Structure 1
Amino acid sequence: MRALLSEAPGGPETLKLTDLPDPVAGSGQLLVAVKACAINYPDVLIIEDKYQFKPPRPFAPGGEIAGVVEAVGEGVSGWAPGDRVIAMLGHGGMAEKVLVGAATALRLPEGRSFADGTALILTYATTIHALLDRGKLKQGETLLVLGAAGGVGLAAVELGKAYGARVIAAASSEEKAEAARAAGADAAIVYPRGPFDKDGAKALSQQFKDAVGPGGADLVYDPVGGDYTEAAVRALAWEGRLLVIGFPAGIPKLPLNLTLLKSCDVRGVFWGAFAARDPRANAAHIQTLFRLWDEGRIAPKVSRTWPLEQGADAIAYMAARQAVGKLVVTID
């Protein structure tokens, strides 16, 4: 089989397409022929050794796949060759075949494409956990979504509306703002590219305040970081909550006096750890996501695809913060 491997720390240009022996399903495992692998921001970080987890090399990036079961290992029940599957791997997905723990695999509903299947779990499961468990979102509250046209950003717009919030989307271009409006945002603004000097930071904060209105934002969903975080905190309502999702613009340094003045909370969101610590609650969220998908209240958006041999280009595109919705590598 072919796999796109990271053999040493570096950017996407260091990845190498390599031939490897086919894996063999062991006890409790499924051998899956990968048809699609989603690209997420952790794929940018993991190949540079900047992610929380550092797999032993060589490894393939790609933590979210959809495909077809080729074989089942000893002790596996409920799965058979030919079944369509979605799986979260952490890494390893940019390969023609992968091993998946049968206990964690999910069925890809009939009528859904493999590409759409890869676009659902990580972004939407992260976001439903963020909004409901960490953010305690209530109907009628104002939700400000930064990076609103990325995978998790669009998920936050859709799920925010599904749970009755007034959603204000913020993105870095008019094209991205329009994508957020199409996903259901009540309003969308275009913010400038950072980093910002003192006057620029003040102007950004005022832009957020004007967008959310005089009452402030009850909840901020922040998958961007950098200078955008402090500006968003300044736009929070009394006892508002900031959800920390990620840092493509850099890890922010937040003046803690702001949290005192607004009596607000900064709440971290680590979906992977939540799923491992409370698999029952995570499974319930995923069933809710499948229901919302069936009802048409969420709709994963795949904006671009690349073949496996161009998978490095997909990661570079993500690193450049150009993505609208999800980016997917397809494998024939």
Structure 2
Amino acid sequence: MKAMICRAFGPPESLVLEDLPSPPLRPGQVRIEVHASGVNFPDLLVLQGKYQFKPDFPFAPGGEVAGVVVEVGPGVSGTAVGDRVRCSVGNGGFADEVVVPAVRLVPLPPAIDFTTGAVIGSAYGTSLHALADRARLVPGESVLVLGATGGVGMAAVQLAKLLGARVLAAGGSDAKLAKVAAAGADAVVNYSTGNLREAIAAFTDGKGVDVVYDTVGGAMSEPALRSTAWRGRFLVVGFTAGEIPRLPANLLLLKGCDAIGVFYGDYMRREPERGHAEFRRLLSWFETGKLKAPIDRIYPLADAAAALRSLANREVVGKIVIAPR
């Protein structure tokens, strides 16, 4: 098998394409021939040793894949060779094959291609869990998406619209925000050149926004919290700015609002039945064409370092994918 291997924490350029022995199957496991691997911001953090979980060396980054089952281990039922599947793998996805527990597999409907299948989990799973389950978003409410031009942010914009909300998309590039507007955002604000709080006030007629979806952290979080409505919900999704904000607790008191953590990976581990029901809902929207993943770029496996570098340099609008085949 071929994989992009990390042997010491460092920049994307430290990855090396290596030929490795295929790992043996243990009971309950399957082997997947990887056709597409999603590229996500946590992959970059894991590679640099900045994520909350640090894998043992050597490892391949890449947390979600889509492909075909090519071998089934002892004790596996309900899965057969030839099945099209997607899977969250933690690490190891930047490779042409992976071995995973069969219980993690999600069948991929014929209408969903491998490229789309590889990006549904992290971006769209996180966003649906955040908006529908954690924020309990209802039609007619307003949503501010911070970091709307990234993969998770773009998914949040699409899903918030599908759930009946009005969406203000915030980002740092006019050109990128134009693409987010084309994807359905009702209004956009460039927080590098404009005033975020003034934009929120104009968008909500001074009432404040009902839900803040924050993938950025850093200096953007407090102004957004100050502009939430009474009984608003502030979703803590990630910190792509690199700084974890210290939010004034008195704002929660004065606004009667909630600060809500969103940890999709642990949610799926702790509440699998609810999580899988949500995911089936998500798949149905992709099957029927109500959702379409915006794929910005597709890279071959050997160029995985370039894919991660483009993510680090904020060059991407939507999602990028590694295609090992």
Q: TM-score higher than 0.5 here? A: yes
Give the SS at the match of 1:329. strand
Give 1:297 shift. 1.9
Counterpart in 2 of 1:69?
Answer: 69
Amino acid at match of 2:315: Q
Counterpart in 2 of 1:18?
Answer: 18
Give the SS at the match of 1:293. helix
Counterpart in 2 of 1:222?
Answer: 214
CA–CA distance in structure 2, aligned partners of residues 276 and 160 of structure 1: 24
**Pairing 1:236–2:247 present:** no
**Pairing 1:171–2:163 present:** no
**Pairing 1:58–2:58 present:** yes
CA-to-partner distance for each residue in 1:73-95, whole Å, 9 max, x for gaps? 01112222222110100110011
Counterpart in 2 of 1:101?
Answer: 101
Amino acid at match of 2:123: T
Give 1:207 shift. 3.2
Give the SS at the match of 2:127. helix
Counterpart in 2 of 1:287?
Answer: 280
Give 1:212 shift. 3.6
CA–CA distance in structure 1, aligned partners of residues 120 and 75 of structure 2: 28
Give the SS at the match of 1:111. coil
Amino acid at match of 2:85: V
Counterpart in 2 of 1:197?
Answer: none
Amino acid at match of 1:82: G
CA-to-partner distance for each residue in 1:260-305, whole Å, 9 max, x for gaps? 2222211110011111110000010011001111232211111101
CA–CA distance in structure 1, aligned partners of residues 212 and 295 of structure 2: 24
**Pairing 1:204–2:196 present:** yes
Give 1:125 shift. 0.9
Give 1:219 shift. 0.3
Check whether the contact 2:147–2:171 (CA below 8 A) recurs between aligned residues.
yes
**Pairing 1:247–2:259 present:** no
**Between 314-323 and 300-309, the greater mean CA deviation after superposition:** 314-323
Amino acid at match of 1:214: G
Check whether the contact 2:38–2:118 (CA below 8 A) recurs between aligned residues.
yes
Check whether the contact 2:189–2:196 (CA below 8 A) recurs between aligned residues.
no
CA–CA distance in structure 1, aligned partners of residues 277 and 82 of structure 2: 26
Amino acid at match of 1:225: G
CA–CA distance in structure 1, aligned partners of residues 182 and 251 of structure 2: 33
CA-to-partner distance for each residue in 1:143-167, whole Å, 9 max, x for gaps? 1111112111111111111111111
Check whether the contact 1:212–1:235 (CA below 8 A) recurs between aligned residues.
no
Amino acid at match of 2:38: A
Counterpart in 1 of 2:270?
Answer: 277
CA–CA distance in structure 2, aligned partners of residues 185 and 98 of structure 1: 37
Give the SS at the match of 1:266. strand
Superposed CA RMSD: 1.4
Counterpart in 2 of 1:296?
Answer: 289
The number of residue pairs the alignment matches comes to 324
CA–CA distance in structure 2, aligned partners of residues 114 and 291 of structure 1: 16
Counterpart in 1 of 2:323?
Answer: 330
CA–CA distance in structure 1, aligned partners of residues 250 and 16 of structure 2: 48
Check whether the contact 1:245–1:270 (CA below 8 A) recurs between aligned residues.
yes
CA-to-partner distance for each residue in 1:219-265, whole Å, 9 max, x for gaps? 00001111010111121111211000000112112222222222221
The percent of aligned pairs where both chains have the same amino acid is 47
Give 1:323 shift. 1.6
Give the SS at the match of 1:62. coil
Give the SS at the match of 1:85. strand
CA–CA distance in structure 1, aligned partners of residues 109 and 24 of structure 2: 26
Give 1:5 shift. 0.9
Check whether the contact 1:144–1:212 (CA below 8 A) recurs between aligned residues.
no
**Pairing 1:188–2:208 present:** no
CA–CA distance in structure 1, aligned partners of residues 221 and 175 of structure 2: 22
Check whether the contact 1:66–1:115 (CA below 8 A) recurs between aligned residues.
yes
Give 1:22 shift. 1.0
Amino acid at match of 1:21: P
Check whether the contact 1:119–1:301 (CA below 8 A) recurs between aligned residues.
no
Give the SS at the match of 2:86. strand
Give 1:205 shift. 2.7
Give the SS at the match of 1:110. coil
CA–CA distance in structure 2, aligned partners of residues 153 and 83 of structure 1: 31
CA–CA distance in structure 1, aligned partners of residues 201 and 101 of structure 2: 46
Counterpart in 2 of 1:153?
Answer: 153
CA–CA distance in structure 1, aligned partners of residues 262 and 112 of structure 2: 28
Match of 1:308 among 295, 301, 305: 301
Give the SS at the match of 1:160. helix
Please give the TM-score of this superposition, normalised by the length of structure 1.
0.94
Give 1:128 shift. 0.9
